[in-house]
Amino acid sequence: MRKRLSDISEGLSTPQITVLDAGGQYCHLIARKIRDLGVYADVQPSETPASQLAGRKGIIISGGPDSVYEAGSPQIDPKILSTSSAVLGICYGQQLMTHMLGGRVRKGEKGEYGFARFQTGRPHALFASLNGQLQVWMNHRDQVELAPEGFDVLGGTFTCPVAAIAHRTRPLMAVQFHPEVAHTQQGHQILANFVFGVCGCTKDWDPKDRIGPLEKQIQAIAADRNVFFFVSGGVDSTVAYTLCLRALGPERVFGIYVDTGLMREGETAYVRRLFQQLGATAFRVEEAETEFLKALEGVTDPEEKRHIIGEQFIVVQERILSTGHFLDGHWILGQGTIYPDTIESGGSAKADVIKTHHNRVAGIQKLIESGRIIEPLASFYKDEVREIGGELDIPGEFLHRHPFPGPGLAIRCLCSETVAPVTRSDPGWLLPIRSVGVKGDSRSYHSVLALEGLPEDEVATELVNRMLDINRVVGLVHARAGIAELRSSRGTLTRERLERLRQADAIVRQLSEESGFDREVWQFPVVLIPIGAGSNPDSVVLRPIHSVDGMTAQVVRMPHELLHRMTYELLSVNGVCGVFYDLTHKPPGTIEWE
């Protein structure tokens, strides 16, 4: 059975594989992928002494946001590299192994984020049955310049010649790319080669049968207390709510949907229908648009917006609870938090904060510290949550709905304090706005490069890798003015701008559903940016992507005819000047712009 990734139950045998956490965004994903192979793996801090890892057949050093040659960067016990355990370094792990054993690591001339072509060289058990060119997923700027003595270079990419190394006689090996993410096409095989071919592990883990253990966990945490949920109608909160409903019974689980004024068109009616179908008897809608918009008035910084929304939820919660109509003071808060929410909020010891999710703001942290939070899905990824929902018989109509962020349209409505023109930056134009991204496991908040037309994805990837001051590339589909005439405006979260985005989002959803394109993508954010001209101050950005677990994402191109029709209808929305298409994978661009 599958426990929480952070838990080790009593009586469980020693893990065969341990992942040492150097602060990487994908650290726990590595452990999960090993468990999916049927082998028990755990996660420990990078500095864990070698003596505590005795008996491990394999050790994996994760990626991380730091540079190995800088003071204070994550380290491992050097003895780990001289034990009988096989060691695999991934990204930062390769650089750390190189640095500790006398090789050289340097900052590359440009970064390498997203897709890359890895050419295998010398044969090795790590690449058994895999020869020639492999599609891999990169997320780094530093790279190995010289492998340590006794190591062979197993392959490289155009940007990174030393992208895989292995010792000739000892079980030490490393790769610069990330085999644990879905977009490294043969990553599953590479990890299987390490676990079974190199380490000699045997299967001792069953990744199925999750419902029973989760229900027992909920009952143990809740004890005699009731559970109160703020539900959104999204997959995560719906599955978490349903788990608690099954574990505790409908009389002990209360749900309130807060209409923040930041939701999509028709969302409130949709959520009412959903919870009626789930059999929720204690459910109500709380109208709170005025107080949320008042709290967000004039705010432009994305992190500040997220913090305000999260804290405002706490204010609403306390107001509702103080009435005594629901929980009579004996309660804990339930949340649909999943693992990417935690890791992007800096939830791992050495992880960088990419963006603070509304369920990880200060007020929520206080509830966690006081033992008043239950998050049954906090160790799972989006694809796993959907699988659990299927086992709970949640209707597929709801279960396979595109993810929608908890802060709602607020983080898809970018704001600006200044009026400034676009500036020429060969081969495109720098838009005078910034978006959040992730480069080398670190947060970036950089400019957006706009191109005229829609070049191939490889062009966008190359530009982001080469230009340090951008983390996102968009293509201009069409605008009411020439791109050189566009400028930013002083845009905030007003009802007018939110309604403009709501209309645009409704158009995109309707056309995507009618055409079937919505079934070809994992998520389709529609973003409003304060870039326009004259009486049309805003533009719309289309962001259709494919992902498996939300940790990495790939741009999806829509058919030309659909794009043409969608653009035509979007330009009919009052105040919309242009339509852009986001050409950026994750990394370096996060799925949401804020």
374-412: pLDDT as tens digits:
999 987 877 788 889 999 988 887 888 888 887 899 999
Helix, coil or strand: residue 539: strand
> pLDDT tens digits, residue range 84-103?
999 999 999 999 999 999 99
Fold of the domain spanning 211-407:
Rossmann fold (3.40.50)
Q: Are 144 and 173 in contact (CB under 8 A)?
A: no
The average confidence (pLDDT) of the chain is: 88
Q: DSSP string covering 146-179, please?
A: EPPTTEEEEEE-SS-S--EEEESSSSEEEESS-T
pLDDT given at position 332 = 85
Confidence class of residue 55 from pLDDT cuts 50, 70 and 90? very high
Residue corresponding to tokens 């049309």: 536
Mean pLDDT score, 249-275: 89
pLDDT at 346: 47
In this structure, what token pair is assigned to residue 407? 């802060």
Per-residue pLDDT band at 356 (split at 50, 70, 90): very low
Q: Considering only residues 330 and 322, tell me which one the structure prediction assigns the higher pLDDT.
A: 330
Name the nearest CA neighbour of 526 among 354, 378, 411, 382: 411
The CATH code that applies to domain 17-198 is: 3.40.50.880
Helix (H, G, I), strand (E, B) or coil at 327: coil
Rounded-to-integer distance, Cα 258 and Cα 230, Å? 7
Q: From 14, 42, 12, select the one nearest 27 (Cα to Cα).
A: 42
How crowded is the C-beta side of 569, counted as CA atoms within 13 Å?
15
pLDDT of residue 386: 87
Instruction: Record the tokens describing residue 289, joined without a space.
Output: 């648009």
C-alpha 96/C-alpha 101 separation (Å) is 9
Give dist(CA 404, CA 232) in Å, integer.
9
The catalytic residues are 91, 178, 180
Give pLDDT, residue 552: 86
| pLDDT of 431 over the 90 cut | yes
Neighbours of 519 (CB within 10 A): 9
Portions of the chain given CATH number 3.40.50.880: 17-198
The pair phi, psi for residue 302, each rounded to 5°, is -65, -40
The strand pairing partners of 538, in sequence order, are 576
Is the predicted pLDDT of residue 349 greater than 60, yes or no?
no
CB 453 within 8 A of CB 475: yes
pLDDT at 366 over 50: yes
Over residues 215-236, the pLDDT tens digits come to: 999 999 999 999 988 887 788 8
Q: Rounded CA gap, 133 and 88, in Å? A: 21
Q: Which residues of 541-571 are buried (b: 16+ CB within 10 A; e: fewer)?
A: bbbbbbbbbbbbbbbbebeeeebeebbebbb
- Measured CA to CA, the distance from residue 441 to residue 588 in angstroms comes to 9
Task: Give 124's pLDDT tier (boundaries 50, 70, 90).
Answer: very high
Q: What is the 3-state secondary structure (H, E, C) of 228-267?
A: EEECCCCHHHHHHHHHHHHHHCHHHEEEEEEECCCCCCCH
Residue 482: predicted pLDDT: 95
CATH 3.40.50.620 domain locations along the chain: 211-407
Element spanning 487, H or E: strand 487-488
Report percent pLDDT > 70 for the chain. 90
Per residue, what are the HEC states of 50-80?
HHHHCCCCEEEECCCCCCCCCCCCCCCCHHH
Taking only the tens place, the pLDDT of each residue in 457-491 is: 889 889 988 898 999 999 999 999 999 999 999 99
What are φ and ψ of residue 146, in 5° steps? -140, 125
Q: Are 91 and 21 in contact (CB under 8 A)?
A: no
Residue 416 has pLDDT above 90, yes or no: yes
Q: Are strands 420-421 and 487-488 parallel, antiparallel or unpaired?
A: antiparallel
pLDDT at 350: 55
Fold of the 412-582 domain: GMP Synthetase; Chain A, domain 3 (3.30.300)
Give residue 1's pLDDT band: very low, low, confident or very high (50, 70, 90).
very low
Kind and range of the H or E run holding 532: strand 531-532
Q: Find the mean pLDDT for residues 145-154.
A: 97
CB atoms within 10 A of CB 218: 21
**CB 265 within 8 Å of CB 506:** yes
Distance CA 100, CA 46 (A): 14
